[in-house]
């Protein structure tokens, strides 16, 4: 049964601790935020996703600018670990792990590790007329829901990798070609590509250049309600 989404996703704490130092090549394990402002991102286009996608795009632009500054200063940091759980999505455990493996082999600043007791990212399954979606802060916390009907219509590994992309901070780009992972269901059910392209890989690395700490923001207050990204 699908769990009710709330505007703040509770994050398990106490299981994450500061890990290896920057430049060591080992994953850095940091404490994730205790609460997150989350939004909905669906696999197929829907007007309800607009606010969340706008928020993720703004977050991405800040991260890109900050990474450029760090590059000029010669700053380097080790990868950050995001723990996830497949306990509530046993039907799709295999494709979830494949999606995580795809991201782990593609990006260097963040790694996805299965650990139910320390998970800040939860995968769930069930039936929902909205289809599959991610309810996440775009920075490693929240949950991803797989709709059984939609998972029977689209390439499952692509859906899993796409929705995980939202948890890593990427917005939808439905109008993009099949070669773009974040085009999601835009290209139709025949698209099976589950690999992020070079731009998407670079964007995720930028988003995680500061670990769990997001790129510094200017004094901007966003009072728009958070909505459910597919």
Alpha helices per DSSP H over the chain: 50-73, 93-106, 148-151, 156-167, 198-207
Distances (CA, A) of 132 to 34, 149, 230: 25, 9, 6
DSSP state for residue 28 in the 8-state scheme: B
- Annotated ligand binding at 162? The verdict is yes
- Annotated ligand binding at 230? The verdict is no
- Annotated ligand binding at 49? The verdict is no
Distances (CA, A) of 129 to 30, 42, 77, 196: 36, 11, 42, 27
- Positions marked catalytic: 163
Helix/strand/coil for 119: coil
| Among 211, 202, 209, residue whose Cα is nearest residue 182 | 202
DSSP state for residue 116 in the 8-state scheme: G
| Among 172, 156, 90, 157, residue whose Cα is nearest residue 123 | 90
Annotated binding site: which residue ranges? Answer: 162, 166, 172
Annotated binding site for Zn(2+): which residue ranges? Answer: 162, 166, 172
């Amino acid at each position: 049964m699908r769990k009710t989404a709330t505007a703040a996703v509770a994050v398990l704490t106490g299981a994450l601790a500061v890990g290896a130092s920057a430049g060591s090549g080992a994953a850095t394990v940091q404490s994730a935020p205790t609460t997150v402002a989350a939004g909905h991102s669906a696999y197929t286009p829907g007007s309800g996703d607009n606010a969340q996608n706008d928020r993720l795009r703004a977050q991405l632009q800040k991260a890109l600018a900050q990474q450029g500054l760090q590059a000029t200063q010669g700053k380097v940091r080790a990868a950050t670990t995001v723990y996830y759980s497949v306990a509530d999505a046993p039907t799709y455990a295999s494709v979830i792990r494949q999606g995580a493996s795809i991201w782990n082999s593609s990006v260097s600043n963040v790694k996805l590790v299965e650990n139910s007791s320390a998970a800040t990212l939860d995968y769930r399954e069930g039936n929902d007329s909205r289809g599959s979606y991610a309810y996440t802060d775009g920075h490693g916390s929240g949950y991803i829901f797989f709709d059984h009907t939609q998972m029977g219509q689209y390439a499952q590994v692509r859906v899993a990798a796409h929705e995980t992309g939202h948890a890593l901070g990427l917005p939808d780009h439905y109008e993009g070609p099949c070669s773009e992972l974040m085009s999601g269901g835009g290209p139709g059910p025949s698209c099976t590509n589950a690999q992020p392209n070079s731009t998407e890989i670079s964007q995720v690395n930028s988003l995680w250049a500061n670990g769990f700490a997001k790129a510094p923001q200017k004094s901007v207050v966003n009072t728009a309600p958070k909505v459910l990204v597919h």
